[in-house]
Each structure stands twice: as structure tokens, then as C-alpha cells.
Chain A
């Protein structure tokens, strides 16, 4: 079945550690996104990538890093520079706008907690 998979579902991080959240899709989508969700703030865009080997900062990129070495994969690293990393992280993918149908498909999310 085609879809988008995030792992792990729950992740605990100690202060000062970097952690990497996995996101894989088999939908052959060009575009992939990372969002952070906090109560009452909706989904805020962290990073996005519209093509392999290229990515752009979103609205809240500080303290995060990404890579896009393969079309299927878009891992997010939460670095120690991120002051308040506890949140629910959602990965999404979509086809490009110029193709018309740009519905985004979401993973089930990763809940990151700093302990």
C-alpha cells in the first residue's frame, strides 16, 4: 500500500542531545514537508523540499536540520539548539503544484518529549 511512514511514534530526548525523526514515502511524490504542531498553534512549517537534494527553510527552521538524499526519504534532526523541542511532529508529501493535484498525505506523527 502506498503511504507515508513516520518513526518512531514516541521519542524521548535528553537535554543537549540531537535526535532524528524518520519520514519515508512510497507515493513517488516530489515534495515533502515537516510541520510542528503545538496546542492552539496549528501546524507550523519547519522545512520543505520540492525536489531531491534541495530543501528550504520554513517559518520555524531554527534548531532543526534536514536532508533529502533520496526522493522517498526526508529525515528531520532536532538539534540541541532547539530550545523547546517538545511537540508533535508531522511529515507530509505531495506532488508538485504544476501537476495540479497537490493533496498532501500525512504520516501518523512523532511525539517528541524532552526529559
Chain B
């Protein structure tokens, strides 16, 4: 079955530490891939996207993600987390004009 999986429901990191959020997808072909961020009670904001080409994509707010075809993964990374990065993060795929989302990973940042 087609799916998007974010295995970590909640992650806590210290401010200044590095971050990696995991995302795996299960589709017959490579879909378009996205990471979104959501603050409480708000809509979603796009962090970055992958359509084709360079497998390491840069996004806003210092985030980057790497597409690995062999692992069907699209993990989000940030070298140094800021307190303002605390939010919920969603991995998403667009396959044949249909957007689907993972369950989300809630990020808590410790001072």
C-alpha cells in the first residue's frame, strides 16, 4: 500500500544540537517529496521540496533534506537547532497530483 511513514512521534533536542527527522515512503515510483512545519493552531508552511536532480535540497530556516532512492527515504536535517524550531514537522508526498502526509513528528527544544 502507498504510504508515508514518520517513525518518530516526538523528539526532544537541546538548543544548538543537531537534528534529524526521518521519513520513509512506499510508492511504486519516486513521488515528489516535501517537508512542512506547523506551529500550534496554524496551517502548514513549506520548508523544502524535492522533484528531481540533486538529492540534497536546501530549504528555509537552515533546514536541508537528503533523498535516498535506495532507502525510499527523505530525512530532514538541521545542524544547530534554535528554540524557535519547536513545532510539528510533516513529511509529504505528491504522487499523481495527490498529496499525502505522514503522521508528523513533534519537536521539543530544551534550553
Q: Distance in Å from the Cβ of A35 to the closest Cβ of chain B?
A: 7
CB distance from B90 to the nearest CB of A (A): 6
A31 close to B97 (CB less than 8 A)? yes
B98 A48 Cβ-Cβ under 8 A: yes
Residues of B within 8 A of A40 (CB): 9, 103-104
CA distance A31 to B94 in the complex (A): 12
Q: Is A2 an interface residue (CB 8 A)?
A: no
Partner of A97, one of B45, B96, B102: B96
* Contact (A94, B51) CB under 8 Å given A107-B43, A108-B42, A109-B43: no
What is the number of residues of chain B that contact chain A, defined by CB distance less than 8 Å?
25
> Which partner residue on chain A sits nearest B103 by CB separation?
A42
Q: 1/0 contact trace for A60-75 toward B, CB 8 Å?
A: 0000000000000000
Q: Are B99 and A41 in contact (CB under 8 A)?
A: no
- Once A107-B43, A108-B42 are accepted as A-B contacts, the answer to whether A41 and B103 lie under 8 Å apart by CB is yes
Within 8 Å of chain A (Cβ to Cβ): is B78?
no
Q: Which residues of B contact A76 (CB under 8 A)?
A: none
Interface residues of A (CB under 8 A from B): 31, 33, 35, 40-43, 45, 48, 50, 88, 90, 92, 94, 96-98, 100-104, 106-109, 111
Q: Can you give 28 A-B contacts (C-beta < 8 A)?
A: A31-B97, A33-B99, A35-B101, A40-B103, A43-B104, A45-B99, A48-B99, A50-B97, A92-B44, A96-B97, A97-B94, A100-B51, A102-B32, A102-B94, A102-B99, A103-B34, A103-B46, A104-B34, A104-B36, A104-B46, A104-B92, A106-B43, A108-B42, A108-B43, A109-B41, A109-B42, A109-B43, A111-B41
